[in-house]
């Protein structure tokens, strides 16, 4: 199970793309769409179709439910 670096969605291998950068970091993308958006330096919490965006919206609506530590 890999988690998409951009949208935060979990997906099963062999779907998606894995990318290694020069600093030794690994990035996972569930689709080329996510990869493109990441390259464009989009902020995933501002892009409506990402699960990160939805989680943020949910946290704003129900701030108490989001407190997990």
> What does the binding site for Zn ion look like in residue numbers (CB under 5 A)?
4, 6-7, 9, 30, 34
CB count in 10 Å sphere of residue 60: 9
Residue number, 30 or 39, with CB nearest to Zn ion: 30
Nearest approach, Cβ of residue 13 and Zn ion (Å): 14
Residue 14 is inside which H or E element, if any? none
Nearest approach, Cβ of residue 67 and Zn ion (Å): 26
Report d(CA 53, CA 42) in Å as an integer.
12
Residue number, 49 or 62, with CB nearest to Zn ion: 49
Nearest approach, Cβ of residue 30 and Zn ion (Å): 4
Q: Do residues 4 and 32 touch, judged by C-beta distance below 8 A? A: no
């Amino acid at each position: 199970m890999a988690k998409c670096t951009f949208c935060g969605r979990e997906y099963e291998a062999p779907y998606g793309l894995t990318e290694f950068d020069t600093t030794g970091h690994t990035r996972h993308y569930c689709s080329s769409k996510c990869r493109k958006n990441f390259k464009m330096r989009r902020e995933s919490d501002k892009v409506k179709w990402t699960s990160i965006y939805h989680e943020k919206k949910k946290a704003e609506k129900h701030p108490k439910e989001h407190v997990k530590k």
